[in-house]
Structure 1
């Protein structure tokens, strides 16, 4: 079974992260499959909009446990290459030429928050929870940081990056990470309402409007490639650092890192 399922309903492409048994956590397969699906719909002139969601109870819980175990024992160079693959996924989603809608059906942690931030429109179920909890592992949300900061602003990001706290859908809406929060039973109708609005715009104008907004926000795909290189190097260095190794080992072994003992 693929880690990501791509289906088309008329002119809308639906991308379903399909690893519900691990809350749609990232591993190499999900990153590769989601990147490929994004590239495919971006090149398809019949696609007018893209909806991203998760199977089961969660949107995406961030990094997969076994994937993290492998990265904890990998070299700094391997960690850098791994981080660049995740960075490319985020960059491709951010600059996808079609309007994108995040259908946040449940928890979004770590990289899952990055995916939400990279979508043009985000609608969340009321029970959804969010967190940028990397500091609890001795790490930082490096590759997703430009997109999260663009979505919620520097002031909110500073708090959430350093506390790692969990926050709810209402807080996510107030800070701009999501645009609308609805009861779970109203999530699908809310997404459909937005898709209805998107069908009324000219596809060329929508593509240019998206490019305009990003450019006015000083964010271009070319500039982000350099930022991604720097952030991938940062997270790779932290993963192999003493504190990063301590935090990752404690998490994987269900223990406490040194700074909590």
Structure 2
């Protein structure tokens, strides 16, 4: 039986590989479930500091499995809702994940596949990759991914991408703020690994987890609520063991424990 998500761990980095290359890594229900389970398992591994997400073959992900969606046309509203909630749950899991996640775009990232990429903290693409949200050209609605597009690029760019359904080159995706970087294909692995190693070595695990949650929660809050929430997080961070260790190390001109652990 095909392993839908391959897991490679080389501490402190774990790489998850979407493994349906013959289907352009389309996001079937089974693949979404396998990816969610793999992420949940790695979240419990303290030796894993950073997760990299990529695709097998020449495409990161072509989005929803259209053959599966066609079969779901005969399903009930409740069954379709359950299927939609599965993808939404995966993207929410990424938004609140306790470790940084880097999308390593080895090729095209389309529709739900592009949504998966921008739900990660960083997205770095190989030159020649195309990205976009083609749902409206198929009579579909980019509903779930739209939440993440709006948060990433704002309404003006989101309207251009979601209403036109056009594919864009990775270089334009960087200019629009949809992804972070585009590099030559031969430099992709080294670029992603350098970022992963920096995150693992230079940052505190607890500080990253709290900061990621802050970034997930703040956009939906009003100004006063956001400031009050941020104030509570600030106070909470001061009580963590990482903060105490980091302050001691800084004053003593020593490396903090997370840098030593990642060496």
Aligned residue number for residue 114 of structure 1: 115
Alignment pair present for 1:181 and 2:182: yes
Alignment pair present for 1:5 and 2:6: yes
Task: Report matched runs for 1:28-67 at 5 Å.
Answer: 28-67=29-68
- TM-superposed CA distance for 1:156, in Å, is 0.7
Aligned residue number for residue 171 of structure 1: 172
- TM-superposed CA distance for 1:214, in Å, is 2.5
CA contact (8 A) 1:123 1:178 kept: yes
Per-residue displacement from partner, 1:191-221 (whole Å, max 9, x unpaired)? 01101210211111111222222233237xx
Per-residue displacement from partner, 1:192-251 (whole Å, max 9, x unpaired)? 1101210211111111222222233237xxxxxxxxxxxxxxxxxxxxxxxxxxxxxxxx
Aligned residue number for residue 212 of structure 1: 214
Relative contact order, higher structure (CA 8 A, sep 6+): 1
Q: Which moved more, 1:180-189 or 1:202-211?
A: 202-211
Taking only aligned residues, the RMSD between alpha carbons, in angstroms, comes to 1.2
TM-score scaled by structure 2? 0.80
| Distance in 2 separating the partners of 1:101 and 1:143 | 20
> How many residues end up aligned between the 2 structures?
219
Task: Report matched runs for 1:1-261 at 5 Å.
Answer: 1-199=2-200, 200-218=202-220
Aligned residue number for residue 224 of structure 2: none
TM-score scaled by structure 1? 0.81
- TM-superposed CA distance for 1:137, in Å, is 1.9
Per-residue displacement from partner, 1:93-129 (whole Å, max 9, x unpaired)? 1211101100001011111111111100110011111
CA contact (8 A) 1:113 1:148 kept: no
Gaps of 5+ in 1: 220-261
| Distance in 1 separating the partners of 2:218 and 2:90 | 22
| Distance in 2 separating the partners of 1:44 and 1:110 | 31
Query: Whose radius of gyration is greater, 1 or 2?
Result: 2
CA contact (8 A) 1:49 1:198 kept: yes
| Distance in 1 separating the partners of 2:153 and 2:24 | 24
Secondary structure class of the residue paired with 2:54: strand
Gaps of 5+ in 2: 222-263
CA contact (8 A) 1:127 1:168 kept: yes
